[in-house]
Structure 1
Amino acid sequence: MSTAALARDDRMPLALTVNGRAVRTEAEPRTHLADLLRDTLDLTGTHLGCEHGVCGACTVLLDGEPARACLTLGGACEGSVVTTIEGLDDDPIAAELRAAFNREHALQCGYCTPGMLVAARDLVIRLPEPDERRIRAGLSGNLCRCTGYAGIVRAVRAVIAERRARGIPAAAHGGADAVRALGPVGARTGTTAAAGSTTAAARPSVAAPAAILDVADDFEPAHGFAQTFAAAHAPEAVFALFGDVEAVAACLPGAILLGTPRPDAVEGALQVRIGPITARFAGRARIWRDVPARTGRILGAGSDAGGRSATEGEIRYRVEPGEAPGTARVVLAVGYTLKGPLAQFGRPGLVRDLAGRLTADFARNLEARLSGAAPAPPADLHPIRLILGLLLDPLRRRFAAWRGPRP
């Protein structure tokens, strides 16, 4: 069979709305939204620059939020509404921005301009006032090699000031928390409150997803990693606590129970905040425990509030004796699959780093609970530290390999 025939066999049907028009097409599972728009739909106003989600030239609106088209898989946009720069021809905000960009000399070669206008339009809608710091933060994901940004910032400030002077307010999700809501698609998913463990009385109400997701017993994760931590308590005590679902949820930052858990199943939500990005997944998990072997398995699936991003995953754990008498060592094997717009933030290195920090918080809270003390509040996860950790990990591994094993 020829390569072309193989490609045709691998194509999947796709239905979405692009610039107000219903579109039915086919695409390979690996096709990114930017390639689909440019090569299949001939919407070449969406430019491709770095193709790594850094420069922002490919920014489009995905269900009303700015998204990187070069990182978003076309298949993940099934049923979505996509608006490109061509779809903003008759948009009044985009028209004001185009005029301001011309007036303030905010463009030169124009290659970054389509993505810049899409991002700027989002800021005009949401920011309550023409705050330069917030504008620069909101445009920090759109790179320009020509202008020096001064004219771009002046143009966006001018449009915001003019619209507020005409009595056009910011959207309801702007306001005082707008600076925390800045960011691409997924950044405003769920609440902007920092993730943290709560007591049953203080837990906020969480709406369950429209359809509670389930996952098959033979689930095969796309990514996986291992984690271990030590506990200064006997293995029997640690394993017994793992059997108390409410106690585990109280120790895990961001975990919220929905209803009364059963020994073999639980419905709940997990919300995690990484800088300006807050993700909250609600769903169901099934639980298996082997008491004699002190092992267990948690298999679950969930979706975000809009149901467009979903995750499936499993945690296998083993509680074994620690190095010192009366201590325990917990070995975790984590596997997961992330789908939808939030998958563009789910790089394995970042997820592994995030899981490491959550595991460290969980271990501290578990120690506190077994010792009768109150759990410590979780620290916010700063995106710069996460990225630096991701970049430095390969250097640490190379240095360790160069040094060789210690005598």
Structure 2
Amino acid sequence: MTLVTLNVNGRALTAEAEPRTHLADFLRETHNLTGTHIGCEHGVCGACTLIIDGEPARSCITYAVSCADAEVTTIEGLDDDEVATQLRAAFRREHALQCGFCTPGMMVSARDVVLRLPEASEHEVRVAMSGNLCRCTGYVGIVRAVLSVLAERREAGQRGASDARSRLGPVGSGHAGATTPEAGAAAQPRRADARPAGARPTASARGVPIEPDWTPQTTFTKDFTVAHPPEKVWDFFGDVSAVARCLPGASLVGTPSDEHVEGQIRVKVGPITADFQGVADISRDDATRSGRIIGAGRDTRSNSATRGLITYVLKPEDEGRSTRVEVSIGYTLTGMLAQFGRSGLVQDIAGRLIGAFVQNLEASLGHTGSGGGAEPAMVSELNAGGLVFSVIAERLKAFWNRIFGR
């Protein structure tokens, strides 16, 4: 269990949570904030939408532990909000609700539309609200209510709020940091794209930023051995393009540098094909033969995002004739593909992916030492869907053996 502190509706609230507890359950079960409704639990229906650091977020696919020190506003915290008050009156006037189950999330999303798109047309409102599903009203009353508030605010000279967000993208905790009046601008919640003045721009991939102090939700270790001396393996790892060629499904965009790379990796999970386009920052230490890769990526087709942290160290074996590579892998996966992100399954799949990488690595290292010739045969792609079934079969077999003592 992890002790999690959030600033919820203007009050600091603390409670213990398991790493897998999503924010919706955390608020409902530990703080009795039941206005946040849980529907699909896959980030699709929008019923659980609330506000994190000023931006709407699906709380059913957001881990509570990842929001430590965040500013969270639920529907209960919008009682005195100006826009929410206008929307409540419009919803009543336009008969925009029936059973009410979708209404809390609908109100949060509608408030975002009013603040972010003050000149929105009916079509734009429908598109912006399409992430919230309603089984009762057919959306007609909801759209009329939002349009009427937009019209009222325009007539009154009320435009979008000065702190309304200017772009769409994944929502993180923001970790607002200082909150005292003396802190000035630092007291405002840090946005996903914020950075200190004069700092090198933070790399991002389709709105997924690389954050140096980011902590993975799940971490595990792997190791493998290649039949080549450490100095040769270390030199090879310094060639980013060569390493990328060894990783099934990976391809680079542009020319990588020693410290930064952009590219994509294709992952197939049964009928689903995801192309994660992303970036990574790379650091290496020649003295210890260790390295660190931190990256982020997004697949727009499935609206899934991932962050990853890989650290590795090379150690000699067999009197320096072989090299053992010890790898630590940390990751966070959100969106539709998160349903395939259970840590045990990911570890099994990662093991097979590393196995293919090692096979390609051995072929490449052998080829570089052979004086050229034809390109070595490489494993170019892995279908994770096939791996899922093999993993399940292996686990069932192990379970069967444990029962019968075999």
TM-score interval w.r.t. the shorter chain? 0.5 to 0.7
1:152 CA displacement: 1.4
* Cα pair 2:41 2:60 within 8 Å, conserved: yes
* Cα pair 2:36 2:47 within 8 Å, conserved: yes
Residue 314 (structure 2) pairs with residue 288 (structure 1):
yes
TM-score, normalization by structure 2: 0.55
Distance in 1, Cα, partners of 2:123 & 2:295: 31
**In structure 1, which of residues 121, 135, 154 is the aligned counterpart of residue 111 of structure 2?**
121
Residue 265 (structure 2) pairs with residue 274 (structure 1):
no
C-alpha RMSD over aligned residues = 5.0
What amino acid maps onto 2:237 in structure 1? F
SS in structure 2 opposite 1:108? coil
1:163 CA displacement: 3.2
Alignment of 1:216-231 (within 5 A): 221=220
Residue 85 (structure 2) pairs with residue 95 (structure 1):
yes
**In structure 1, which of residues 23, 26, 31 is the aligned counterpart of residue 13 of structure 2?**
23
Residue 69 (structure 2) pairs with residue 79 (structure 1):
yes
**In structure 2, which of residues 12, 36, 39 is the aligned counterpart of residue 46 of structure 1?**
36
Distance in 1, Cα, partners of 2:40 & 2:304: 25
Corresponding residue of 2:202: 206
1:168 CA displacement: 1.6
1:55 CA displacement: 2.1
Corresponding residue of 2:130: 140
Distance in 2, Cα, partners of 1:51 & 1:91: 27
What amino acid maps onto 1:149 in structure 2? Y
Distance in 2, Cα, partners of 1:12 & 1:122: 31
Alignment of 1:1-400 (within 5 A): 12-164=2-154, 166-169=157-160, 178=167, 181=168, 205-206=201-202, 209=211, 211=213, 221=220, 241-245=236-240, 246=257, 249-250=260-261, 252-253=263-264, 254-257=278-281, 261-263=284-286, 264-266=289-291, 269-275=294-300, 285-288=311-314, 292-293=321-322, 296-299=325-328, 313=329, 336-338=330-332, 343=334, 347=338, 349=340, 393=385
Relative distance call for 1:337 and 1:16 in structure 2 (3 A) is same
Distance in 2, Cα, partners of 1:186 & 1:345: 20
* Cα pair 1:66 1:185 within 8 Å, conserved: no
Corresponding residue of 2:380: none
Q: Percent identity?
A: 41
SS in structure 1 opposite 2:72? strand
1:211 CA displacement: 4.3
Relative distance call for 1:101 and 1:269 in structure 2 (3 A) is same
Relative distance call for 1:206 and 1:287 in structure 2 (3 A) is farther
Distance in 2, Cα, partners of 1:241 & 1:21: 53
CA-to-partner distance for each residue in 1:72-116, whole Å, 9 max, x for gaps?
A: 343443322221111100000111111222222211121110111
Corresponding residue of 2:402: none
Number of residues of Structure 1 aligned to a counterpart in Structure 2: 293
For structure 2, list consecutive stretches of 5 or more residues without a partner in the other structure.
175-189, 194-199, 204-209, 225-230, 241-256, 265-277, 373-382, 394-406
Relative distance call for 1:90 and 1:26 in structure 2 (3 A) is same
Distance in 1, Cα, partners of 2:26 & 2:279: 37
Distance in 1, Cα, partners of 2:321 & 2:163: 55
TM-score, normalization by structure 1: 0.55
* Cα pair 1:60 1:83 within 8 Å, conserved: yes
* Cα pair 2:48 2:105 within 8 Å, conserved: yes
Distance in 1, Cα, partners of 2:113 & 2:310: 36
Distance in 1, Cα, partners of 2:49 & 2:4: 20
What amino acid maps onto 1:221 in structure 2? F
Distance in 1, Cα, partners of 2:173 & 2:2: 25
* Cα pair 2:315 2:324 within 8 Å, conserved: yes
Distance in 2, Cα, partners of 1:395 & 1:81: 40
CA-to-partner distance for each residue in 1:274-303, whole Å, 9 max, x for gaps?
A: 22969686978444276844764554xxxx
Relative distance call for 1:269 and 1:161 in structure 2 (3 A) is farther
